[in-house]
Amino acid sequence: MIDNNQQPRSPSSLVSIDGGKVKFIRESKGLTQLYISTFLGVTTDTVSRWENRKYPKVKWENVEKLAEALEVDVAEIMDYPEEEQEKFDAQIEYPAPSKPANPRKRLIAIVAAVFIVLLAGAVIVNLSHKEVVSITATRFLPKHIPAGKAFPVVIRVESNTEQPFSFILEEKLPENFQVQTGIPEIASIDTKNNMVKWISNSQQSPFYLAYLAYLVQAAPESKAAGEVSFIGQIKADNAPRFERNVSGDSVTEVSDFHWADANTDGVIDDEEILMVYSSVEVLTSLGVDMDRIREIWSSRGYTWNPEKNDYQVVE
């Protein structure tokens, strides 16, 4: 097997990849064909054909992007039979031995080099005055969450530019937590590392992502069951590419109170329901039971019923 990283390639040159390895690595990391296709800018059918060896040759630029999406070295997905080594070597063009340059050509080369240096300096000065693109992700998390009941997490992605931008956002959930649903559609769920990922090309700012999560274990008998932390990161390709942690709310407390009852007084008051309605479109798309929240708001309050593992409205 050839160490492909040591061979010169042009972006359009065709090379062989091991589709079986690609599929194995993708599935072992919990990545979907949709995630890979979106990352590379190809169709899911193309990814499927790569994995099933229906496209035996792939452009080198796509191979590099594929390795980046899978988070592996290029060599791990290459398939280059030994019998093709001689043919590959024959395609490599080596430069002919250089001849001493005459004084006139040397002077022209020096002048050209000085011009290039001055031009590069002008470009750098020009770029320094351009707007620095900044992308941020902010998480909105309830102050407390019920065990065994779904609660919403909303993340706002913003940019200081009106230009579209691509990004990958990943969220690592606390132990024993799972995701029920997400919008936009979650591209990857890694159950081993309790990680969910989105990949998107935002056409607007701010851009909202959200998901419903829940604690798998049964509701605790005590109202306070300790704090849990959520960790996230956004990776954007906006010249230069950067990685930044998700800011905003990161810690919440597991308790028997409804997630919309911010001050934990057993009542969802006007101020609290207005806070919920500030994101009503996102919450409705997630499938949050808004009727239940309105029912509690219009009543005298609620209590936790451990036998039914649900809230009891106080009439």
Quick check: helix, strand or coil at residue 112? Answer: helix
Residue 251 within a domain: yes
Alpha-carbon gap, residue 197 to 172, rounded angstroms: 9
Of 203, 199, 265, whose CA–CA distance to 234 is shortest? Answer: 199
| Number of folded domains that form the chain | 2
pLDDT at 98: 42
Is residue 176 one of the residues assigned to a domain?
yes
Taking CA atoms, 199 is separated from 62, 170, 178, 179, in Å, by 17, 9, 19, 17
150 and 16 within one domain: no
The reported pTM is: 0.60
Domain presence at residue 174: yes
CB atoms within 10 A of CB 283: 20
Quick check: 206 and 158 in contact, CB under 8 A?
Answer: yes
235: amino acid identity, one letter: K
3-state DSSP assignment of residue 94 = coil
Residue whose pair of structure tokens reads 């042009």 in the numeric block: 10
The answer on 157 and 50 residing in a single domain is no
Domain annotation covers residue 264: yes
Strands 251-255, 144-146: parallel, antiparallel or unpaired by DSSP? parallel
Which of 142, 146, 169, 300 lies closest to 231, judged by CA?
Answer: 169
pLDDT for res 290: 92
Radius of gyration, CA atoms only, the chain: 27
Q: Indicate whether 112 belongs to any domain.
A: no
Q: What pLDDT does residue 35 have?
A: 85
Is position 96 within any domain? no
Same domain for 147 and 17?
no
Whether 76 contacts 21, CB under 8 Å: yes
Q: For 139, which DSSP code?
A: E
- Please identify which residue in the block is written with the tokens 């936790």: 304
Separation CA 30–CA 192 (nearest Å): 9
Quote the CA–CA distance of 125 and 130 in Å, as a whole number.
Answer: 9
**Helices and strands, counts by H and E, the chain:** 9, 17
Q: 31 phi and psi, to 5 degrees?
A: -95, 145
Instruction: Say whether both 86 and 139 belong to one domain.
Output: no
CA 315 – CA 145 distance, rounded (Å): 23
Find residue 311's DSSP bridge partners: 304
Domain boundaries, position 297: 135-314
The closest alpha carbon to 296, from 306, 279, 311, belongs to: 311
Task: Examine the domain organization and report whether 163 and 303 are in the same domain.
Answer: yes
The reply to whether 156 and 280 lie within a common domain is yes
Q: Examine residue 140 and state whether it is found in any structural domain, yes or no.
A: yes
In the prediction, which pLDDT does 224 show?
A: 43
For position 148, which CATH number holds? 2.60.40.740
CATH of residue 83: 1.10.260.40
- Helix (H) / strand (E) element for 96: namely none
- Which residues is 236 bridged to in the sheet? 167, 242
CA distances for 152 relative to 15, 29, 129, 266, angstroms: 45, 25, 41, 19
pLDDT value, residue 230: 95
- Does one domain contain both 214 and 271? yes
**Of 35, 33, 34, 37, which Cα lies nearest the Cα of 23?**
33
Average pLDDT along the chain, 315 residues, taken 10 residues at a time? 49 83 88 85 85 82 90 84 50 42 55 61 52 79 87 90 82 92 91 90 82 76 68 78 86 92 93 90 90 93 87 88
pLDDT score at 273:
93
Both 179 and 300 in one domain: the answer is: yes
Q: CA-based angle 232:233:237, to the nearest 5?
A: 155
Q: Is position 278 within any domain?
A: yes
